[in-house]
Structure 1
Amino acid sequence: MRVEEPLVCAVNHDQARERHGRTTVVVLRPFAYTLPDGSRTVRVPPTYLTDFASIPTFARWVIPPFGRHAIAAVLHDWLYTIGQPGRRGEADDIFREALKELGVGLTRRAAMHAAVRAGGGGAYDRAGADWNASFMDWRTGGATVPAPSREAFFNDAWPAGVPTVDL
């Protein structure tokens, strides 16, 4: 898998910051993934809050939120958090490609991709409304936003002021 740094996270213990009863974690270091053809690099900033794979409760016995697919899930969550208009399909395809690179089996990979295609529209469309709740200082539990708007990250931009080193 083409990652520049390991995915380093801290488990969030604040139940108020859970997502629909799912535990969340805070990304502690900038994290990047480059597509196999080198055409795009997706960067996830520190302080980003994720629940890994957003698996509905009834399906978690088949596919748990955390597993071999975790890195792909964080990338996908981030792309949905940005919610750049017209790029949802691309976000889902990057998820599928990352799953493949991580060694997720064909059947599970196809099921996970089909699930985000079928059920992810609402989350993608809420991107702007959820922006300020998508970041957290792992030390204090307080909100922290790396850029004034999600638009600052459109087209894989890395806005000035976003940390590029460990926090």
Structure 2
Amino acid sequence: MSQFLTKLVMENATGQDDGLWRLVEPLVYQSDVAGQTFEVPPGFGTDLASVPRLPVVYLLAGGTSNEAAVVHDFLYTKHPVPRAVADAVLREASAVTGVPAWRRWLMFWGVRFGGVSHWDADPASN
């Protein structure tokens, strides 16, 4: 059963209101979709959900499921799975945290269409 095995513990990464965060404790997620468990290490930096700050878009999809967003950022940075699996893990992990189905699908299609430019071409450099 997919589940978060630890709680999300993070701090502001820069001391400014710029939306950048750093994990203080590891975040561990067990994924049925990927068939594996991911551990996002302390010190990992994230901007959470990279949702455009346009009022309607952010109202519909922003500020939800920070845990899922952190795991997704980690998968996009390190590439332990293909991009399509990483996006499916975002949808799955959002369900685990109680995000409604319509919002999960909106987020999923947002990353499928808009995420390609964020898929790091060289994960070894991270």
**TMscore range, shorter length:** 0.7 to 0.9
Q: Partner of 1:117 in structure 2?
A: 112
Q: Which residue of 1 aligns with 2:86?
A: 91
Runs of 5+ unmatched residues, structure 2: none
Indicate if the aligned counterparts of 1:83 and 1:127 stay in contact, CA closer than 8 A: no
Contact 1:79-1:91 at 8 Å conserved across structures: yes
Q: Does 1:57 align with 2:57?
A: no
Cα displacement string for residues 92-111 of structure 1 (whole angstroms, at most 9, x for unaligned residues):
01111111111111111110
CA distance in 2, matches of 1:79, 1:31: 13
Distance in 1 (alpha carbons) for counterparts of 2:35 and 2:79: 19
Higher relative contact order (CA 8 A, sep 6+): 1
Q: Is the 8 A contact 2:33 2:85 kept in 1?
A: no
Which is strand-richer, 1 or 2? 2
Whether 1:6 and 2:7 are equivalent positions in the alignment is yes
Mapped partners of 1:4, 1:119: distance in 2: 29
Partner of 2:26: 30
* 45 and 127 in structure 1: CA distance in 2 versus 1, 3 angstrom threshold: farther
Relative to its length, the structure with more helix (as a share) is 2
TM-align CA RMSD: 2.3
| Structure 2 CA distance for partners of 1:113 and 1:38, relative to 1, 3 Å | closer
Tell me the alpha carbon deviations over residues 53-98 of structure 1, each in whole angstroms, 9 at most, x when there is no partner.
Answer: 000121223222x33x1111100010001135x7000000111111
Write the distance in 1 (CA, Å) between the matches of 2:58 and 2:88.
22
Between the aligned partners of 2:48 and 2:103, the Cα distance in structure 1 is: 16
Give the TM-score of the pair, scaled to structure 1: 0.65
- Structure 2 residue identity aligned to 1:61: L
Task: Decide which structure has the larger Cα Rg and report it.
Answer: 1
How many percent identity over aligned positions?
32
